[in-house]
């Protein structure tokens, strides 16, 4: 005997089924990432310059970042379920070809360390200190587990030469390796502690381009400098990448007693280079929205890479200050009136 379900029972069954489907979609991750705006983070107490005191005037320098997480099937499929300003991005836009997700996180962490050093150098030079700095080779961030470099090279080794030619930058290393064929042997010299060691490493094929020979390490630039003042960074927030460089440099000046913010809440983003130039970064849309929602007084953004143009598109009433160099940033902030 068949029993017909009432409309109420049908509706209830449909609701239960819908809830189950939504729960599955919400917990099932995709191979995509979600970029979400985050609130600006104050650098007060994060950066310290020994022997100096920061002026307390209610203002502050803030860095902005982007929360990056795996997108669920639900978030990937329905834009209205994402936070304001959130975008779905393909995995290869966050994790470059040839890297794993964990390797990318290591690279982001290394990038942050170099960003702090560059910011310290640029800021101390702006304070009148003579600081010598140079690119001193290529730091090994990680070693591919399936490469012939595994067990030979180590993370934090500094590559200083390849096939007898000096290596100062990543470009130097790539230039030496470019003519090699898969299976050729490369002589790699590294500084490990106080020692210079040379190893013969047989190249392997790049997984993304089988005709390209690689030694199987993740390289990153190394900057060497002797700082006349030891600038300390204490970042409790889990953040990586180079985009806080401009904010770091501004805060170093604040901590050294310079009144940079004039009592205003100043957010800043941009990668800082040794020559003081400020170069483009990613996630500008999300960073602008985060700064706007926090009601900061102004947001410094690189001109490079159309960063400033994108920021103005999402700024609404937030004041955007486009900058090309650190000195230009200082000049722009000097023209802002003190907060009443």
Please report whether residue 101 resides in a domain: yes
Which residue did the predictor score with more confidence, 81 or 128?
128
Q: Give pLDDT tens digits for 209-250.
A: 788 888 988 888 888 888 998 899 988 656 778 899 999 999
The residue among 159 and 18 whose pLDDT is bigger is: 159
Give the DSSP letter string of 55-90: --SS-EEEE--EEEEEEEHHHHH-GGGSPTT-EEEE
Residues 116 and 265 in one domain: yes
Domain that holds residue 186: 133-225
Please write the tens of the pLDDT for every residue from 12-42: 555 555 444 444 444 555 677 788 889 999 9
Residue percentage of the chain with pLDDT more than 70: 81
Instruction: Report whether 167 contacts 159 (CB < 8 A).
Output: yes
Question: What's residue 45's pLDDT?
Answer: 87
Could you give the 3-state DSSP secondary structure of residue 323? Answer: strand
- Do residues 151 and 118 share a domain? no
What percentage of the chain has pLDDT greater than the value 90? 48
Average pLDDT, rounded, for the chain: 84
Quick check: is 28 in a domain? no
Counting the structural domains of the chain, the total is: 2
Residue 69 has a pLDDT of 76
Domain boundary among 186, 201, 225: 225
The answer on 204 and 81 residing in a single domain is no
Give the distance from CA 116 to its chain's centroid: 11
Q: What are phi and psi of 165, to 5 degrees?
A: -105, 140
Residues 6+ away with beta carbon under 8 Å from 103: 141, 142, 218
Residue 239 lies in a domain: yes
- Greater confidence (135 vs 193) lies with 193
Look up the CATH number of the domain holding residue 210: 2.30.42.10
Q: Which of the pair, 93 or 22, is modelled with greater confidence? A: 93
pLDDT of the residue at 134? 83
107 part of a folded domain: yes
Residue 100 pLDDT: 63
Residue 162 has pLDDT above 80, yes or no: yes
What's 73's domain CATH number? 3.30.230.10
Give the least confident one: 16-25, 297-306, 311-320: 16-25
The per-residue pLDDT for 26 is 47
- Entry pTM: 0.79
Q: What is the pLDDT of residues 42-78, one digit of tens each?
A: 998 899 998 777 767 778 999 999 887 777 766 666 6
Q: Please indicate, yes or no, whether residues 237 and 220 belong to a single structural domain of this protein.
A: no
Tell me what pLDDT residue 25 has.
44
Statement to judge: residues 44 and 174 lie in one domain = no
Q: Tell whether 91 and 200 lie within a shared domain.
A: no
Is 154 contained in some domain? yes
Q: Which residue has the tokens 């030694």?
A: 215
Residue 66 confidence (pLDDT):
87
Q: How far apart are CA 261 and CA 49, in angstroms?
A: 17
Band the pLDDT of 153: cuts 50, 70, 90: very high
User: What integer pLDDT is reported at residue 41 of this predicted model?
Assistant: 93
């Amino acid at each position: 005997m068949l029993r017909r379900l009432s409309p109420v029972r049908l509706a209830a069954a449909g609701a239960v089924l819908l809830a189950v489907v939504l729960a599955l979609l919400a917990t099932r991750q995709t191979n995509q990432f979600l970029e979400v705006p985050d609130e600006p983070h104050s650098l007060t107490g994060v950066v310290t310059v020994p022997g100096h005191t920061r002026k307390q005037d209610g203002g502050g320098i803030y860095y902005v970042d982007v929360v990056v997480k795996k997108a669920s099937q639900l978030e990937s499929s329905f834009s209205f379920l994402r936070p304001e300003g959130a975008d779905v991005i393909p995995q290869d836009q966050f994790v470059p070809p040839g890297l794993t997700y964990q390797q990318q996180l290591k690279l982001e962490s290394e990038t942050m360390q170099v960003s702090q050093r560059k910011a310290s150098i640029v800021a101390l030079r702006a304070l009148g200190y003579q600081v010598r700095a140079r690119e001193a080779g290529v730091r090994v961030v990680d070693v591919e587990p399936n490469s012939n470099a595994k067990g030979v090279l180590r993370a934090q080794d500094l590559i200083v030469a390849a096939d007898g030619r000096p290596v100062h930058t990543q470009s130097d290393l790539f230039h030496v390796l470019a003519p090699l064929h898969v299976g050729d042997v490369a002589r790699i010299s590294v500084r490990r502690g106080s020692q210079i060691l040379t190893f013969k490493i047989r190249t392997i094929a790049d997984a993304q381009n089988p005709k390209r020979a690689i030694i199987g390490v993740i390289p990153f630039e190394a900057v060497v400098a002797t700082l006349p003042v030891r600038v300390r960074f204490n970042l409790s927030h889990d953040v990586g990448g180079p985009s806080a460089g401009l904010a770091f440099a501004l805060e170093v000046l604040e901590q050294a007693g310079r009144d940079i913010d004039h009592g205003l809440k100043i957010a800043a983003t941009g990668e800082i280079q040794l020559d003081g130039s400020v170069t483009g970064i990613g996630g500008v849309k999300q960073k602008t929205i985060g700064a706007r929602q926090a009601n900061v007084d102004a947001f410094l953004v690189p001109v490079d890479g159309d960063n400033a143009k994108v920021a103005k598109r999402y700024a609404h009433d937030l004041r955007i200050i486009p900058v090309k160099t650190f000195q230009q940033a200082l000049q722009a902030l000097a023209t802002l009136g003190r907060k009443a």
